[in-house]
């Protein structure tokens, strides 16, 4: 049980570590504002909206300032520089006396720090800074004074050897845990990769039920493999950020890494989730098709054997079609989620997509016809993937079928692509059953009854042969003399065969007939010509 669900625990721990590390930096980084649709609008009044951001010391958020976006970065930069200068002097003196106080100046509250009998102005607070917190300006100034004082005391405490030694032990423990978890993940990744290689869906196996079950297992293993890869990334990223947050010297580096990776990491999570959902959808499709085409269900009294075979062919076609539709839907959802994660308002995009779709529909009527005709081809079972068909003047095996095109592979190996809207007449050579239509030529001097008897004998022996019996559905029919030609007469026979087995049966029958000719001494029909001599003109014709 533990081994089965351990990857889920690892992912949960890694995500929790990332959230814990990232939580203190919410609302920070005023120089990198959140991107949204309003960012690209030329609105003169947008600069009057106040925003808030943190003032940091040693990477920790001390207090927040509120101002217009155009002015806030300057205030934060000035305040952080003043605090950094005072901190440098404060840390150089072991027993320095530091005092933080506020002083009213009209509608402002000025914050000062005195150190070694020197006074340093830090910043000026206005009513906008206090309104955000819902308190009066004077009370807010006193709270800021307390926070700055605590921040300086914390900064000195974090640079003591005992504290650094303690944090170093914690960092070592985190690094050890990361290594152990990463080692386990690497071991599972290796096993998962090997399992994927053994379940490669490109390798066709029979029957179709086993192939569908193999496809379901492969997609589940693929989703598990990607989850393990994502967990590996989150473990190292979250653990590294957590270690960096333990020391004041590296905390600023942690903030910069979070700033740089904030958008890429979100996009990575969206892309990974989209890919995993696609693979799980593939597994669900394979499972559904497996239930439908299960031997017990398909071979019940409701379905005949030929209907069961046709059902499996249609299941294969529907599987390919649904995979394409599911992929398109999840990719579309992933794109809109990614835009939303980036801060863009997707509502105008959806409205614009609807308008563009309407305009595109008028300009792409052939594409709409292809889609409608492709849907009818699948629903009416005109043909499916694996069938041998003749469409117009071309023929071959259906290798790919979707709502847009049909692709055939002809006898010369050429891949022929046909738009579904161009398909009007289809000859399916493998739907339900096939027929081997044979014409056996005999020389004119051969007895007709003997020729027909020879054909019946060879056909009957072939039907009774166990190697050929499974390919032939019914006993062969000898229709009799079909035609007279220059070389002799033709006897016609029919074999009703399994789908796509008519060519094998025909080749085997011709081989046996040729051997029967030789054993019976019946000559092959050769070209013959008669010469007529005219008594009047003595000319040869």
Residue 395 lies in a domain: yes
- Residue 482 has a pLDDT of 83
* Same domain membership, residue 340 and residue 390: no
With tokens 């997609």, the residue in question is: 219
- State how far the alpha carbon of 322 is from the alpha carbons of 140, 168, 454, in Å: 61, 54, 52
* Same domain membership, residue 195 and residue 335: yes
Residue 370 lies in a domain: no
* Same domain membership, residue 416 and residue 451: no
- Residue 200 has a pLDDT of 67
Q: Which of 329, 350, 324 is nearest to 339 (CA)?
A: 350
* Same domain membership, residue 413 and residue 276: no
- The alpha carbon dihedral of 24, 28, 32, 35 has a sign of positive
Q: Which of 399, 38, 10, 446 is nearest to 189 (CA)?
A: 10
Residue 487 lies in a domain: yes
Phi and psi dihedrals of 323, rounded to 5? -60, -40
- State how far the alpha carbon of 107 is from the alpha carbons of 112, 120, 276, in Å: 16, 20, 57
Residue 148 lies in a domain: no
Please say whether the beta carbons of 479 and 426 come within 8 A.
no
- Residue 370 tokens read as 């292809």
- Residue 386 has a pLDDT of 81
What does the pLDDT profile of the chain (541 residues) look like in tens digits? 434 444 444 444 444 444 443 433 333 333 333 333 333 333 444 455 788 889 999 888 999 999 888 889 899 999 999 999 998 888 887 777 889 999 988 889 999 999 878 889 999 998 888 888 888 989 999 999 999 999 999 988 888 899 999 999 999 999 999 999 999 999 998 888 888 887 766 655 555 566 667 778 888 888 888 899 899 999 999 999 999 989 988 888 888 888 888 888 888 889 999 999 998 888 888 888 777 666 544 444 444 445 556 666 677 777 778 888 888 889 888 888 888 877 777 676 666 666 666 556 555 677 778 888 888 888 888 888 888 889 988 888 888 888 888 989 888 888 999 998 888 888 888 777 888 888 888 887 788 888 888 888 888 888 887 777 778 888 888 888 888 877 788 888 888 888 878 888 888 888 888 888 888 887 777 665 666 666 554 444 4
- Residue 82 has a pLDDT of 92
Q: What is the three-class DSSP state of 381?
A: coil
* Same domain membership, residue 326 and residue 441: no
How many structural domains is the chain composed of?
Answer: 3
Residue 515 lies in a domain: yes
- Provide the CATH number for the domain around residue 408: 2.30.30.60
The whole-angstrom separation of Cα 72 and Cα 50 is 9
- Residue 505 has a pLDDT of 86
* Same domain membership, residue 353 and residue 270: yes
Phi and psi dihedrals of 295, rounded to 5? -60, -40
- Residue 298 has a pLDDT of 44
The whole-angstrom separation of Cα 204 and Cα 392 is 30
Domain assignment of residue 253, given as a range: 163-363
* Residues whose CB is less than 8 angstroms from the CB of residue 142 and which lie 6 or more positions away in sequence, other chains included: 102
- State how far the alpha carbon of 58 is from the alpha carbons of 203, 244, 247, 254, 307, in Å: 58, 12, 9, 11, 74
- Residue 2 has a pLDDT of 38
Residue 314 lies in a domain: yes
* Same domain membership, residue 346 and residue 396: no
* Same domain membership, residue 339 and residue 200: yes
* Same domain membership, residue 310 and residue 169: yes
* Same domain membership, residue 389 and residue 283: no
* Same domain membership, residue 320 and residue 447: no
* Same domain membership, residue 384 and residue 299: no
Residue 82 lies in a domain: no
- Residue 214 has a pLDDT of 78
The whole-angstrom separation of Cα 482 and Cα 489 is 8
- Residue 180 has a pLDDT of 94
- Residue 540 has a pLDDT of 44
> What is residue 28's DSSP assignment?
-
């Amino acid at each position: 049980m533990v081994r089965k669900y351990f990857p889920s625990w690892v992912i949960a721990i890694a995500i929790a570590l990332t959230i814990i590390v990232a939580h203190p930096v919410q609302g920070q980084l005023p120089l990198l504002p959140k991107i949204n649709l309003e960012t690209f609008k030329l609105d003169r009044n947008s600069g009057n909206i106040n925003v808030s951001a943190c003032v940091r010391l040693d990477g920790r958020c001390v207090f927040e300032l509120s101002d217009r976006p155009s002015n806030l970065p300057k205030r934060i930069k000035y305040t952080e520089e003043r605090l950094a200068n005072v901190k440098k002097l404060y840390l150089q003196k072991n027993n320095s006396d530091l005092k933080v106080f506020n002083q009213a100046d009209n509608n402002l509250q000025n914050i000062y720090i005195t150190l070694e009998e020197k006074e340093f102005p830090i910043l000026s607070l206005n009513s906008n800074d206090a309104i955000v917190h819902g308190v009066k300006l004077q009370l807010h100034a006193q709270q800021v004074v307390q926070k700055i004082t605590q921040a300086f005391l914390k900064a000195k405490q974090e640079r003591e050897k005992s504290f650094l030694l303690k944090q170093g032990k914690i960092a070592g423990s985190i690094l050890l845990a990361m290594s152990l978890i990463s080692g386990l993940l690497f071991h599972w990744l290796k096993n998962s990769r090997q399992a994927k290689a053994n379940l490669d869906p490109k390798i066709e196996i029979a029957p179709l039920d086993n192939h569908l079950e193999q496809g379901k297992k492969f997609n589940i293993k693929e989703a598990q493999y990607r989850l393990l890869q994502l967990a590996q990334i989150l473990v190292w990223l979250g653990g590294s950020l957590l270690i960096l947050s333990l020391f004041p010297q590296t905390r600023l580096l942690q903030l910069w890494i979070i700033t740089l990776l904030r958008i890429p990491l979100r996009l990575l999570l969206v892309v990974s989730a989209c890919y995993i959902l696609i693979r799980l959808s593939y597994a669900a499709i394979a499972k559904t098709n497996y239930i439908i085409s299960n031997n017990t269900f398909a071979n019940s009294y409701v379905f005949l054997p030929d209907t069961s075979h046709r059902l499996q062919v249609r299941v294969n076609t529907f599987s390919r079609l649904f995979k394409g539709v599911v992929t398109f839907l999840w990719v579309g959802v992933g794109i809109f989620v990614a835009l939303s994660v980036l801060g863009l308002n997707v509502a105008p995009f959806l409205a614009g997509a609807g308008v563009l779709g309407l305009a595109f529909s008028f300009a792409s009527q052939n594409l709409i016809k292809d889609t409608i005709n492709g849907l009818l081809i699948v629903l009416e079972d005109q043909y499916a993937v694996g069938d041998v068909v003749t469409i117009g003047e071309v023929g071959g095996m259906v290798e790919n079928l979707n709502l847009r095109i049909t692709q055939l592979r002809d006898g010369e190996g050429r891949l022929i692509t046909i738009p579904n809207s161009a398909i009007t007449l289809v000859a399916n050579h493998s739907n339900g059953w096939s027929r081997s239509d044979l014409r056996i030529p005999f020389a004119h001097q051969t007895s007709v009854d003997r020729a027909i008897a020879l054909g019946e004998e060879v056909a009957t022996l072939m039907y009774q042969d166990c190697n050929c019996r499974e390919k032939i559905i019914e006993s062969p029919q000898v229709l009799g003399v079909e035609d007279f030609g220059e070389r002799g007469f033709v006897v016609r026979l029919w074999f009703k065969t399994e789908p796509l087995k008519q060519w094998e049966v025909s080749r085997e029958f011709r081989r046996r007939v040729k051997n029967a000719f030789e054993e019976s001494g019946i000559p092959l029909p050769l070209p013959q010509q008669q010469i007529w001599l005219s008594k009047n003109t003595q000319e040869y014709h």
